Amino acid sequence: MLFSSILTVVFASLARTTLAQDQFGNIVYDAIHNATAITGTWSSGSKAVRTGQGFANPANMTFNYPKTTGISYSFTDDGFYEISRYRFNSNGSEPTCITGVIAWSHGKYTLNANGSISMSPFEDGFQQVQDPCAAISNFIEPFTTPEYYKGWRIFMDASQGPKLHMFQFDGTPLAPMFQVSVTPNMLPTQLLRNTDEPVIQRRSSAQGTSGSQWKAGVVAGAGLALISSTISML
C-alpha cells in the first residue's frame, strides 16, 4: 500500500503536467509525448486482463474471470476501442465491504487536439458488480457511459517496452499499462448483442433460473462513478 501511495504521488505530478498541456496548448505528437502510437493492446500489472477473445461474452452477458485484477485497453488506427476491467474497490467507512467490478465495453474514440481522449461506447457494454454488503449482492447491468480522459502519454520502459499512462476526467491516473500487442486484439468492432431486448439481472441468491430470482429491467451504468470514487486496490 505504501508503494502504491508513492506511485500515486508520482502519477499525480505527471497528471498535473498533462493537465497543463490539456488546458494550455494543443498536443504535439513526439517522442516525449508518445514514444510509439497508441494503437494496439495494453494491459496493466500482471497482464492477466486482456481485451478480445476470452474475457467477455457480450452475446449472453457473461465473463470469464481472469486470475488477477487489472485493466486492458485496445485502440485501432481507424477509431475503435475496447476496454476490459476487473477490479476490487474498498470502502473506507466499511473496510470489510470489498466490491468486485468486472466490466467490458467497446465503441469509437477520438484523440482530441488538446490531448484528451473521448470515448463513445456502443450500447452492448456491460458489467457485473459483486458487493457482499449490498441488498443485491451480485448483479449484471448495461455499462454504456461515455468516457473522457484528460490526457495520455507513452513512455519507453527500459525492460518492458512501451508504457501507456492515461488520466481520467478528474486527472486521476489509471494503472499504467504495457503494450502486449502492436496490433489490437479486440472482439468485432460492432454491436454484439441485440440491445432492444430487456436486460436480465441476476440477484445474489439465484443459483439457477427460477423465475422469482430474476428481475427484468435496465439500469444505466453508474459503474464509472463507482470505480472512480472508491479506492482502487490494483
Ligand X SMILES: *[C@@H]1O[C@H](CO)[C@@H](O)[C@H](O)[C@H]1NC(C)=O
Residue 17 touches ligand X, criterion: CB under 6 A: no
Cell numbers found for residue 234: 490494483
Least distance from C-beta 159 to ligand X, angstroms? 20
Least distance from C-beta 148 to ligand X, angstroms? 7
**Which residue number, 60 or 159, has a Cβ lying nearer to ligand X?**
60
What 3-state DSSP class applies to 165? Answer: strand
The closest alpha carbon to 50, from 188, 227, 184, 162, belongs to 184
Part of the chain binding ligand X (CB under 6 A), chosen from 6-14, 106-114, 163-171, 190-198 = 106-114
Cell numbers found for residue 225: 462513478
Least distance from C-beta 227 to ligand X, angstroms? 10
- 7, 31, 136, 182: which one contacts ligand X (CB under 6 A)? 31
Which residues in the 37-96 window bind ligand X by CB under 6 A? 37-38, 57, 60, 62, 91, 93-94
Neighbour-count burial of 130, counting CB atoms closer than 10 A to its CB (0-12 exposed, 13-18 middle, 19+ buried): middle
**Which residue number, 70 or 223, has a Cβ lying nearer to ligand X?**
223
User: Contact 165/57 with Cβ under 8 angstroms?
Assistant: no
Q: In DSSP terms, which residues pair with 90 in a beta bridge?
A: 231
